[in-house]
Amino acid sequence: MIDKNSPIPIYHQLEEYIKSQIESGELKPDEAIPSERVYADLFKISRMTIRQALTNLVNDGYLYRQKGKGTFVNQKKVENRLEGMTSFTEDMKERGLTPGSRLVSFEIIPASRKIADMLHLAEHTPVFEIKRVRLADDAPLALETTFLPANLVKGLTEEIINHSLYEYIEEKLSLTIHEATQQIEATIAKEHELPLLEIDRGSPVLLIHRTSYLKDGTPFEYVKSAYRADRYKFVHSMKR
Ligand code: 16G
């Protein structure tokens, strides 16, 4: 399992070993991993090497540490295939997770210059500004701030938003959601996002900006989302 004659660094071999135990289910989510001493005795390797491997696995989101308690296996990351334009609700259901929302704020505001530009509106046109923490099996995955033209996405209520925005737009308003452009960048979570996403200061998040359009080219939403980087990843396949 650990080959000391291999040119592959030992800490990397240990990382791969622990990852394979997570993959196979020998180590289960939220289970404590063996102590450093157990690995040291098992493989006859130094504590420093073990620490290096564990730190890398924590940084990559496979493990998490709890002060005074130990190191545990993280939940598997939710994968988002960058194909097809799906809603959060559809995404979670497809993965066998229960989608949910925690409403942070819901109001109609005059569009700022930037939001008006993104939605092709005149400045100060009324828009919904909706902040939701999106949940997967009751655990926070993302914080979404959605801007929608109030005279286009009519009749929105908190109840609708707690369910699915896209389902309402398509099924109740009979509008055809067609396409979107989005940008993804890595950053550190902002102070106000920490308690909402239940993460520590300094945690990485994936920031996504999406503008979505109806069939006739009208933009109907501009969304800023911060996804927990330890629980979410994007998978993109491409053809040559
Ligand atoms: C996704 C979309 C978001 C959309 C939401 C609707 C991204 C980055 N964002 O979260 O633009 O508003 O789905 O979800 O994919 P809902 O129908 O469950 O309310």
Distance CA 186, CA 79 (A): 16
- pLDDT at residue 234, rounded to an integer: 82
For residue 20, the one-letter residue type is: S
Under 8 Å between Cβ of 123 and 113: yes
Residue bearing the bigger pLDDT, 223 or 82: 223
146 lines ligand 1 (CB under 6 A): yes
- Distance between Cα 150 and ligand 1 center (Å): 17
- Centroid of ligand 1 to alpha carbon of 225 (angstroms): 9
More confident site: 142 or 61: 142
pTM to 2 decimals? 0.81
CA gap 123, 171 in Å, rounded? 29
Which residue ranges form the domains of the chain, and what is each CATH number? Answer: 10-73 (1.10.10.10), 78-235 (3.40.1410.10)
The rounded Å distance from CA 68 to ligand 1 centre is 38
Q: Tell me: the pLDDT tens digits for 182-219?
A: 999 999 999 999 999 999 999 999 999 999 999 999 99
Average pLDDT over residues 98-126: 97
List, for residues 37-88, the tens digit of each pLDDT value: 999 999 999 999 999 999 999 988 899 998 889 999 998 888 777 778 899 9
Identify any residues that bridge with 219 across adjacent strands, giving them in sequence order.
213
Tokens linked to 120: 């092709």
Ligand 1 pocket, residue 165 CB under 6 Å: yes
Q: Is 106 in the pocket of ligand 1 (CB under 6 A)?
A: no
State residue 76's pLDDT score.
83
Q: Which of these ranges, 28-37, 79-88, 114-123, has the smallest mean pLDDT?
A: 79-88
Identify the pLDDT of residue 32.
95
Measure CA 102 to chain center: 15
Residue 236 pLDDT grade (very low, low, confident, very high; cuts 50, 70, 90): confident
Pairing of strands 126-136, 139-149: antiparallel
The finding on whether 164 has its CB within 6 A of some atom of ligand 1 is yes
Report the percent of the chain where pLDDT is more than 90.
Answer: 84
Pairwise CA distance, residues 3 & 188, whole Å: 37
